[in-house]
């Protein structure tokens, strides 16, 4: 049992919205927050909100946010008791966790041993199988010939996956033997590029699965609970864009079973802090272990909204040596919560990033709306990092009302100066199959025509559409309080799109 202590100062080893979100909880707990930043992030919101900030290098993450030595140097200069890694960057790096402990700085996360046990997907599959967690049939292969033989035994289609992978990188779907050679080389090449390890493994591709994950939380004394599920099946390029809880596809009995198995798996590796077990759920109700994320998840706010607990606060308390503040029977899931990831990207062009300067930004508010953001009017969305602007979340008593609330919130969200995926989200929340909860991980690919791009407007209707868009531009002007001129009160230049529509509206 660890001696309990109280942190006075914590360094947040991250950037953007997650650094802002962690800083807010630290301030609520009366703990000073220290930020680190690259040269291009000098004016970032997470830097502005922190009590202290330290420059750690140039823009490339490999020279700044991934530099263990520079982050530890900043923590020691600031006199920090602990470091919270957020997600991404060094959050699942066991060497970083160990380096923190060697310097007498508490790592707010799981033990390095658990991170290592679950960090390799192949090793994690083996460990979880030993712990009684159901896994997808698969195999380790050294050559394409071995992969083809294994695939024929398991049955096509199969997935090739980077052993050290994550975030949708190093994954290839193979439908038949003739595709294996090229998929094998591409998966290995991408794995080497993104993770420094070209090891790939083969896994049975499940038909129309849903991606359902279980949040676990445990203290250093061995107490462990699950905090329900999240359905993360709406994905593009194997990356999540919408998450919700409860899952429309999982009964409470199924969630309880998945939760119990997740707790069993976490205990098998001596886990503590927050973590997530990811599963593929088939239409017939079978579920298979996919991977464990040994960190806080991007989509954690929806769990907080239905469970009523601040997961970051719990992580900090656990790191201070405190016991969990609740048991499994204390936890109750109330209502429904949905999260939309608002990205600077162009859905009509393959969801490619759209970095640039945000000119106007108006975020939604009102009952049941939460926007976890890291941007502000005039800030730059850098091409060096993930183009996430914010995570828009809603809560309501039922899923039907949560969808209606999200529609309203999306209609209030205004961003100019860059392309975003807001229009995609608006179309998604009108799609009858999504509204009915009938979707899986291939939903976006199957419904590209309805969800992506822009419809062709008949000649006879173009004037009416132009007027409607001009009215929308007028709404933007009122919402932002800008003058009719091409510059706002703060001197920022309005986009040509908005300026042109204003001229049409007021001529």
Catalytically active residues, by annotation: 295
From start to end of 301-386, where are the E strands? 336-343, 345-346, 352-353, 356-357, 360-362, 369-373, 380-381
> Of 141, 124, 146, 142, whose CA–CA distance to 133 is shortest?
124
The encoded tokens of residue 248 equal 């429309």
Query: CA triplet 210, 216, 219: central angle to 5 degrees?
Result: 170
User: Could you give the CA distance from residue 307 to residue 237 in angstroms, rounded to a whole number?
Assistant: 30
Strands 224-236 and 239-245, bridge-based pairing: antiparallel
Q: Is 327 exposed, middle or buried (0-12, 13-18, 19+ CB in 10 A)?
A: exposed
- The DSSP secondary-structure symbol of 493 reads B
Kindly report the number of other CB atoms within 10 A of residue 268's CB atom.
17
> What value does the CA radius of gyration of the chain take, rounded to a whole number of Å?
23
> Of 206, 213, 217, 303, whose CA–CA distance to 250 is shortest?
213
The owner of tokens 């914010």 is 390
> Of 61, 49, 43, whose CA–CA distance to 12 is shortest?
49
User: Could you give the CA distance from residue 506 to residue 4 in angstroms, rounded to a whole number?
Assistant: 65
- Helix, strand or coil, per DSSP, at residue 82: strand
What is the spatial order of strands in the sheet that 82-84 belongs to?
52-57, 32-38, 9-12, 82-84, 106-107
The encoded tokens of residue 223 equal 């107490």
Ramachandran class of 350: left when φ > 0, alpha when ψ lies in -120 to 50, beta otherwise: left
């Amino acid at each position: 049992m660890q001696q309990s202590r109280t942190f006075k100062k914590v360094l947040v080893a991250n950037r953007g919205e997650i650094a802002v979100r962690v800083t807010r909880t630290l301030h609520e707990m009366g703990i000073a927050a220290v930020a680190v930043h690259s040269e291009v992030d000098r004016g970032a919101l997470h830097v502005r909100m922190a009590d202290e900030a330290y420059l750690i290098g140039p823009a490339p993450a490999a020279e700044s946010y991934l530099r263990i030595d520079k982050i530890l140097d900043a923590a020691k200069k600031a006199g920090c008791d602990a470091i919270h890694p957020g997600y991404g960057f060094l959050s699942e790096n066991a060497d970083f966790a160990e380096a923190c402990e060697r310097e007498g700085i508490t790592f707010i996360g799981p033990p390095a041993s658990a991170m290592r046990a679950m960090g390799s997907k192949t090793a994690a599959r083996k460990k979880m199988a030993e712990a009684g967690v159901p896994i997808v049939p698969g195999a380790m292969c050294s050559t394409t010939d071995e992969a083809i033989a294994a695939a024929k035994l398991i049955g096509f289609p199969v997935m090739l996956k980077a052993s050290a992978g994550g975030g949708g990188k190093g994954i290839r779907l193979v439908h038949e033997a003739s595709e294996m050679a090229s998929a094998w080389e591409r998966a290995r090449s991408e794995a080497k590029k993104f993770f420094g390890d070209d090891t790939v493994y083969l896994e049975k591709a499940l038909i129309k699965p849903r991606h359902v994950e279980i949040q676990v939380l445990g203290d250093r004394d061995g107490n462990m609970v699950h905090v329900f599920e999240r359905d993360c099946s709406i994905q593009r390029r194997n990356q999540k864009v919408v998450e919700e809880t409860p899952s429309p596809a999982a009964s409470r009995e199924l969630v309880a079973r998945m939760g119990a198995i997740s707790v069993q798996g976490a205990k098998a590796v001596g886990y503590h802090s927050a973590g997530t077990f990811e599963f593929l759920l088939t239409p017939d109700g079978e579920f298979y272990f996919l991977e464990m994320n040994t960190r806080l998840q991007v989509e954690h706010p929806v769990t907080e909204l239905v469970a009523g607990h601040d997961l970051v606060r719990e992580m900090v308390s656990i790191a201070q040596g405190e016991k969990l503040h609740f048991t499994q029977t204390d936890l109750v899931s109330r209502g429904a919560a949905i999260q939309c990831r608002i990205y600077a990207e162009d859905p009509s062009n393959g969801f490619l990033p759209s970095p640039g300067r945000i000119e106007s930004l108006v975020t939604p508010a009102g009952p049941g709306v939460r926007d976890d953001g890291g941007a502000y009017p005039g800030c730059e969305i850098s091409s060096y990092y993930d183009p996430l602007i914010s995570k828009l979340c809603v809560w309501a008593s039922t899923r039907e009302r949560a969808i209606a609330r999200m529609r309203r919130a999306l209609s209030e969200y205004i961003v100019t100066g860059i392309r975003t995926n807001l229009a995609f989200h608006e179309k998604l929340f009108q799609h009858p199959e999504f509204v009915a909860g009938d979707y899986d991980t291939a939903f976006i690919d199957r419904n590209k025509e309805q969800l992506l791009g822009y419809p062709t407007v008949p000649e006879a209707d173009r004037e009416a559409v132009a007027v409607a868009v001009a009215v929308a531009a007028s709404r933007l002007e009122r919402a932002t309080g800008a003058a009719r001129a091409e510059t706002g009160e703060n001197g920022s230049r309005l986009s040509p799109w908005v300026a042109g529509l204003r001229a049409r509206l007021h001529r």
